[in-house]
Chains A and B, each alone.
Chain A
Amino acid sequence: MDAIRIPAPGELDALEDDQFRHVVRAFVHAHYPAHLRNPPKRLHWAENQEWYHILAREGWLCPGWPKEHGGLGLSPAKQIILTEEYERHGVARCNDHGIVMLGPLVIQYGTAAQRQEFLPKILTGEHVWCQGYSEPNAGSDLAALRTEAVLDGDHYVVNGQKIWTTLAMDANWIFLLVRTDKHAKKQEGISFLLVDMTTPGITVRPIINLELHDEFCEVFFDNVRVPKANLVGQLNKGWDMAKALLGFERIFLGSPRQSGYALSRLKLLAERMGVADDPAFADTYARLRLDFEDLKALFGTYVDKLKRGETLGPDVSMLKVLQTELFQRITDTMLEIAGENAGLLEPMEGNRDLNLGGLYIQARPATIYGGSNEIQRNILSKNVLNLPG
């Protein structure tokens, strides 16, 4: 790659889109640690903090934050380009809940003191955040959450349990949705609280998932005392805030890149198995390929909307459903053609690109998390097609 000058962070938002894309390519090429490309599993902080600190050092950590708070101030369209190029290069996801979720929420709803307290520590990596939303009986039905915060003098006392808390063992802070009014209707009476995970009474228990990986945790709260000042926004308005933050980022759940990656691995596997030219396989592959191409085209129409400054409606759910189910069908096909290799625990032939069993398993939760595809279809039915309740 020819040397492309990488402008100062503050200049990135002013670039033309194509130019910006080339800059991002040059940036990851120059800075991303090669040994972290396309990791087979979600990385822990011990592994990905190297990249986190590079991003922090270069000023690239927070693409969506306004410049005055230390971000790049990128438009949605540019953020998508950034993500596309990261994904193309195989850049691993950071422990990014502070960057993606908490930062924007504090910027929008926090007090000046909260901004001053928390934003800089995300930018340095001093605070690593995790997100405490789901509970054992509040998964798809998040508003049923029961973890409770009761005011006691200058503190909230928190009791309850969170589950599916991504990388909680790596985090030193957690943001919580907690119930602060038991008598209000379900979605009301929920507040947003910031909790130092070193506070006494917090227990983190990793969950081993089907990848045999401890990506998620249960987090238990037993009379955990949280200073009143750590409440963000209005009391009992936490639900609305958290929901408002689900902005254009929902489009990322539908990025076709994951399917594109899987498709290229399917192709490789087909070659290794000697079926790439088998006409029946070719027919299956053609269908998957066309689904991928049309999904890219559909995804593009949403990116175009963002470029035009439009906000995305609930129909963006389609992308998530289509992408995750395509991803699954691709990995299903891998198993079908792999013969006995389908059952191997480790990548076939020791080749990370032939990690077919791993991909098959990784593809499973895609249709469950981020709002299960059943929930997404409910949304489409009610909010897009206007079918009755």
Chain B
Amino acid sequence: MTTPTSNIKTAKDYATDQDVRWCPGCGDYSILKQVQSVLADEGVKTEDTVFISGIGCSSRFPYYMNTYGIHSIHGRAPALVSGLRSVRPDLSVWMITGDGDSLSIGGNHLIHILRRNFDVNILLFNNEIYGLTKGQYSPTSPSGQISKSTPMGSIDHPFNPLALCLGADATFVARAMDRDPKQLRSILAAANNHKGTSLVEIYQNCNVFNDGAFFVYTEKQSKPQSTLFLEHGEPLVFGEGNTKGIKLDGFKPIIVDLEADGVLKDELWIHDKHDQVKALMLTRFFDDNQNAENALPRPFGIFYETQRGTYEDALHEQLKHAREIKGEGDLDKLLAGTNTWEIN
């Protein structure tokens, strides 16, 4: 969403005096830092900004932002955001949530805020685990995950969060990670500039209960061949030195070796963030076994972005229209109604 700007500030100006209470090494620290610096870069005013979260480790976030903030109840942040934006479209609103908070208990509010398209930036910290309650599996944990509540492995088929969000007609969908601050910042800035609900899924390492869940994407050794960085208008390339690409064979994405197979870049799938069908296909690059031969890499970046009117704009339009046709409400007339009589 677009936001009011102010005098130059630095990331530090967005920090509070409260001790940050995440475990040492937690991925949340990096995300906090990037958010603070993006707010500084974008010149967002602290007094016009509200961070709203649910419950979870990640949901402590608002306490560390020198803005207005609510640490609400588990899963319900989208509801609070909807109410706040309905009455205060002038504010910059950010929502912080975890994979349990937004996809387990809060799944319904999430899909409803996406379809209504309130103007808010949603940062979904996905660590594929319940951190705050000490290590139960979450709706994004892969099947077979051993956790406190699944000592023999989880038997749930996990959500594909971005596929779900597109199914709910989201207007901005992106994926980032805690350990790639640069891309994270650029996505956050884009989210901030999108008018409507922007959903950014951020892979976040919980080094205490699910350490390394995303190492295959974040660590040097495996990152090149398992990640695919999406750039609007650019071909899908990845691998060490970007030597691999993805081509479409009808509806089937196939991996090609740019050097060995001699495929040209412009024969590759060119990323178009405005194409919903292609975005849907990209969300399906979701093979659970990233170590499998020929597994599709996991995409990061902006999958999809489109313009659709926001709920609050439509709401304000409707009020304006009502005033135009009926005139500003007159309370005394309203109280009197249409039929009155006198008793003397």
Q: Does B associate with A?
A: no
